[in-house]
Amino acid sequence: MKKIIIGADHAGFDLKEAIKPCLVEDGWEVVDQGTFDRSPVDYADFGGPVAMAVATGAFSRGILVCGSGVGMNILANKFPGVRAVLALDADMACLSRVHNDTNILALAGRRTDAAQAAAIMRGWLATAFEGGRHEQRLDKIRQWEQKICHKELPQEEKP
């Protein structure tokens, strides 16, 4: 069975709960990192474990949901090897897979209804990376990640 990890903050809770049955119906085993109710929480507490699980290779893909999708997307993209996309429609989600081999999908809980989210998610999950000319672009992203992770940043000049 295919496995996917998901997480949400309080603003994304309802949408996370709405898409879980769609994932199960499509044959995915869902590992839910929370949150588990609408009580106010910080998105980083739930997005971080999802992004880490994808970054370390424990999961090949993940889904994050917050109010706008922006916070979760920013957080996820801080992790080496993660290529997260905030997708507001299925075309955007599919193109992110074809061109960028995205591995985390961020959804906007306050801007996306359950039917839209299901279409976005299903398109994203069903779309393969095209490779080819796009692979060299991802290689350049990986090179930047290596420089950053190994602190090969230029030293600031002192006056």
Enzyme catalytic residues = 66, 99
3-state helix/strand/coil string of the chain: CEEEEEEECCCCHHHHHHHHHHHHHCCEEEEECCCCCCCCCCHHHHHHHHHHHHHCCCCCCEEEEECCCHHHHHHHCCCCCCCEEECCCHHHHHHHHHHHCCCEEEEECCCCCHHHHHHHHHHHHHCCCCCCHHHHHHHHHHHHHHHHHCCCCCCCCCC
